[in-house]
Structure 1
C-alpha cells in the first residue's frame, strides 16, 4: 500500500485529489493539510511514501514545504501540483528534489501514474509540464534556447548507448525496477546507470535529467 499525504489550501482541490487516488486500491490517503506548515508536520509524523503538494500555498508554500519534507522525511517522494503560469516555481522546484510535476487540470490517470512512479523512486513529469518548462526556457531568447538544446543534445550524445536507453525510459517516468524489466538487466545495474547519467548530465535528480532529455529532443534517442 502506498501511503499519501495531500496538501492544498483549497478544500475542493484536496477532495478532488483524494477522490482520484481512491480509485486505485493500492493508494491510501493517510493525511491532509491546508497549508505547507501543517504538511511538513504531518510528513514528519506519518512518514508517507508520497506527498502531493500544491506549489503555491499561503505562508509556507509548496517549494518551502517540499524542501523541509525532503530534509525531515527523505524517504518521502514529493509530487508538485501546478497550474499554468507557474513556470518559475517549477524551475525552482527542479533544484529542490521534487520528483513529480503534474498540472491540476490534467487527466486523473496522470495523477495516479505520477504518485505510483514517485513512490517507486522514479521521476514523473506530466507531458504538459515538460512542454511548459521547455517553452519557458525558450522565452529567454532563441539564441539561449538553441544553446541549451545543443548542450542537451551534446550531453545525451556523450552517454553510452545503454545510458541513453535508460535515460529515455527515465524520461517516460519509469522506475529503476521497470527500466530493469524493459532492458532485462538487474535493478542494481539500472541504479548504477542512473547515477552515472546524473553525473554526466550535471544534474542532481531524475526530474532534472528528464528535462534535459526533453530539451535534447526525441531524435536523440532514435
Structure 2
C-alpha cells in the first residue's frame, strides 16, 4: 500500500492534534506537518522536501483562510491537492473552495474511514465531495456544461444507458450524494460490492470520479 503524506491546516490546536492521532493510526497515512493558518501552511510548503501528497485544509482561519490558501497552492504548489474539512456547508465556501482548486470538500462529522479514503483518492487526483457538497454542486450546475454532454437535441430522449439495472440503482444513489456505505445500506449489499459497482459504472461511462457521475445522473433526470 502506498503511503500518503498529509499536511493538516486548521486553526484549532485540539482539532489538529486529534486529526493527527486519528490519521496516524491508519496504515499508509503519514502526517508530515501541521499549520494553524494559510500563512503557516505556505511557510511549511516552501521548505518541505518532499512536498506532502495532500493538504487537509479548514475553510475559515485567521490571517489566511482556506479558500485563499488553496488558490495560492494551485499557483505555487499545483502538485499538492487540497481537501477542505470544515463545519460549514454554505454555498459560498463550497463553490469558493472548488473554484480555488480544492480536490474535495468534506464536513467534520465525516466518518474516519471516509476521511482516509478521501485523502487517498485526492492524492490520486480524484475529486471527493461529501454528501451535502455533492448535492449542492449537482443542483447548481447545468448538465449541458458537463464535458461529456453532447450538443443540445431539444426534446430528444437521452441515449440508452450501458449500465445494468443494479448499476442504474447505484448511479441514482450516487447522484443524491450517497456514500458507498449509504448505498450498501439502501440496497442491502456490502460496502465492498457498492464500491465495485461504482468503479464499474465509472469505467463503463468513461467518467473520472463520482462528481461527474452525479452530473451524468442529473443530465438524464435521475436525481
TM class, shorter-length: 0.5 to 0.7
The structure-2 alpha-carbon separation of the partners of 1:34 and 1:41, relative to structure 1 and needing over 3 Å to count, comes to same
Q: Name the counterpart of 2:21.
A: 19
Find the residue that maps to 1:219 and give its secondary structure. Answer: coil
For 2:32, which of 23, 27, 30 is the aligned residue? 30
1:167-182 aligned at under 5 Å gives the runs 182=199
Displacement of 1:209 in angstroms is 4.1
TM-score by length of 1: 0.67
Runs of 4+ that moved beyond 2 A: 84-87, 131-135, 153-162, 206-220
If each structure's helix is expressed as a fraction of its own residues, which one has the higher value?
1
Mapped to 2, the partners of 1:172 and 1:22 lie a distance apart of: 27
Mapped to 1, the partners of 2:57 and 2:118 lie a distance apart of: 13
| Structure 2 segments unaligned to the other structure (5+ residues) | 151-157, 180-194
Find the residue that maps to 2:101 and give its secondary structure. Answer: coil
The structure-2 alpha-carbon separation of the partners of 1:63 and 1:217, relative to structure 1 and needing over 3 Å to count, comes to farther
Moved more, 48-57 or 122-131: 122-131
Q: Which one has a bigger Cα radius of gyration?
A: 2
The structure-2 alpha-carbon separation of the partners of 1:214 and 1:109, relative to structure 1 and needing over 3 Å to count, comes to farther
Mapped to 1, the partners of 2:8 and 2:30 lie a distance apart of: 11
For 2:143, which of 148, 152, 155 is the aligned residue? 152
> Are the counterparts in 2 of residues 134 and 215 from structure 1 also a CA contact under 8 Å?
yes
TM-score by length of 2: 0.66
The structure-2 alpha-carbon separation of the partners of 1:126 and 1:81, relative to structure 1 and needing over 3 Å to count, comes to same
Displacement of 1:100 in angstroms is 0.9
Displacement of 1:213 in angstroms is 4.3
> Are the counterparts in 2 of residues 95 and 208 from structure 1 also a CA contact under 8 Å?
no
Displacement of 1:43 in angstroms is 2.2
Find the residue that maps to 1:89 and give its secondary structure. Answer: helix
Matched, 1:51 2:42: no
For 2:222, which of 215, 219, 222 is the aligned residue? 219
Matched, 1:87 2:91: yes
Moved more, 207-216 or 123-132: 207-216
The structure-2 alpha-carbon separation of the partners of 1:80 and 1:104, relative to structure 1 and needing over 3 Å to count, comes to same
Mapped to 1, the partners of 2:217 and 2:138 lie a distance apart of: 8
CA RMSD of aligned residues (A): 3.9
Find the residue that maps to 1:131 and give its secondary structure. Answer: helix
1:179-218 aligned at under 5 Å gives the runs 182=199, 209=212, 212-213=215-216, 215-216=218-219
